[in-house]
Amino acid sequence: MKKDIIILGGGPGGYYAAIRGAQLGASVTIIEKENLGGTCLNWGCIPTKALYRNAEILNTLKHINEYGINIDGYSIDVAMLQERKGNIVRQLIDGIAKLMKANRVEVVYGKGILKDRKTVSVELNDGGKIDIEGENIIIATGSKVSLPPIPGADLDGLLTSKRILDFKKIPKSLTVIGGGVIGIEFASIFNALGSDVTVLSRSPNILKRMEPDLTKRLTSVLKKKGINIHRGVQAKKIDKEDGEFVVYADTKKGEIRIQSEHVLMSSGRSPRLDGINLEAVGIDFDKNGIKVDKNFETNVKGIYAIGDVIGGKMLAHVASHQGVSAVESIMGIESKIKHNVVPDCAFTFPEIASVGICEKEAKDMGIEYNTSKFLFGANGKALTLGEPEGLVKVISNNQDEIIGVHIMGAHASDLIHEGALAISGKMKINDIAHTIHAHPTLAETFAEAILGLKGEAIHMVPTKR
């Protein structure tokens, strides 16, 4: 069989690319060794957000009397929680499969290995082997869990971001090694579920790719919720004693010893490069990922790579839009997607989201800039939701263009897209300031922060001059 486009991997990058290719008239085959949807749908974004919703409800229940509602007690049915999560995942997998069929995209289940520049050999899941030829190949094999070189990191029973999803009972205590998005999200979820949670972050700040003004505030909020956070520490050894795990870590004040029922290794992910036969085909890559040009084409003509496998920001929505751009390039279309404007979200309590550059980056780049902050506590909708914690921080340059938007607060992951549109469209302060925002809404926090850049915010005490 011969195709216009062969795609290795059916995750967000692969299936977006497949559908866009079909829309443009290409014959497309996806090779997927497990389930459509990749890590994001099966073991990442979606199942964790299903758990996040459970945690969100539990956080509300802890303060339910503030709403004039009295509940004598409640319990958590872990089996039902897991069933709900599984049903959501299966529904979305089935939905993608239907989209593949509707767009006439062939899906082959098996492990794809590059044979030459135009051929992929597939070891089929149900046995046997076939070769598929194609004019173009897109590598979208994603990433895998990256375990740090800590003695004891391979102990039986240690959890990864994949293994922890299938918990049968809520751990009484959990140590999270890693202060990035994955670690802090799971820490927030299990804290709400009732676990005693400790986080060990090697970086001085949690969520280090986010605006420090927000992450420092978030750290304080999470500590108030009972999460123990140790920043700037290095886990150096993991042991098992009396049926529990013990993590030893170095701090500025000396060694600390943390004992818990479970340990989650959430120190990051690395590109999935093994087993594809990259060397034999001559594709340029290193431990950080496959090398590509602006159209996501490798050094081997006709072979492209997208998503986590090329490194950079390992986000599902990044992979998806890279897949669209790669296919459009294959089909002779100049892609208009702006890959430099990427919203980044962490589903914590409260949520945190960011797009554009932070204040330190503006300083380091020598940009003349202005900043403004507006607190959620001054927003009517936030107060009615019982979510007054948070703020919006915006950054503009000396041409009044919005260059950075950073939000901590309720529904920050939804609000950030107004910032993304502003930065993508090179909008200026007045473009936002002159746009009416409905009241009462959380979006007013963004509008007020923008007005603050001009000293015209309505619900903000004016700064003394």
Q: Is the peptide bond before 149 cis (omega within 30 degrees of 0)?
A: no
Q: What number of other Cβ atoms are within 10 A of residue 216's Cβ?
A: 13
- Which residue of the set 63, 411, 439, 459 is catalytic? 439
Residue 75's CB is within 10 A of a number of other CB atoms, namely 5
Q: Considering only CA atoms, which of 131, 31, 113, 124 is closest in space to residue 278?
A: 113
Is 201:233 a contact under the CB 8 Å cutoff? yes
Alpha-helical segments (H) within 365-428:
380-385, 412-424
Residue 411 has φ and ψ, to the nearest 5°, of: 60, 30
Rounded CA gap, 268 and 85, in Å? 23
- Strand, helix or coil for residue 360: helix
Q: Which residue has the tokens 């751009």?
A: 325
Contacts of 437 (CB under 8 A, 6+ apart): 443, 444, 446, 447
Whole-number Å distance between alpha carbons of 133 and 127: 20
**Residue with tokens 């900043």, as numbered in its chain:** 371
Q: Taking the chain, what is the end-to-end CA distance rounded to the nearest angstrom?
A: 73
* Amino acid occupying residue 156: D
Tell me the Cα Rg of the chain: 24
β-pair partners for 256: 249
For residues 247 and 236, what is the distance between their CA atoms, to the nearest angstrom? 8
- The residue whose two tokens read 């999270």 is 176
- Residues pairing with 110 in the sheet: 124
Verify whether residue 63 is a known catalytic residue: no
Tell me how far apart the alpha carbons of residues 289 and 318 are, in angstroms, rounded to a whole number: 15
88: Cβ–Cβ under 8 A, 6 or more apart, which residues? 46, 47, 50
Dihedral Cα 192, 195, 201, 204, nearest 10 deg: 50
Q: What tokens does 238 get?
A: 């993991």
Spatial separation of the C-alpha atoms in residues 120 and 118, rounded to whole Å? 7
Which positions are catalytic?
439
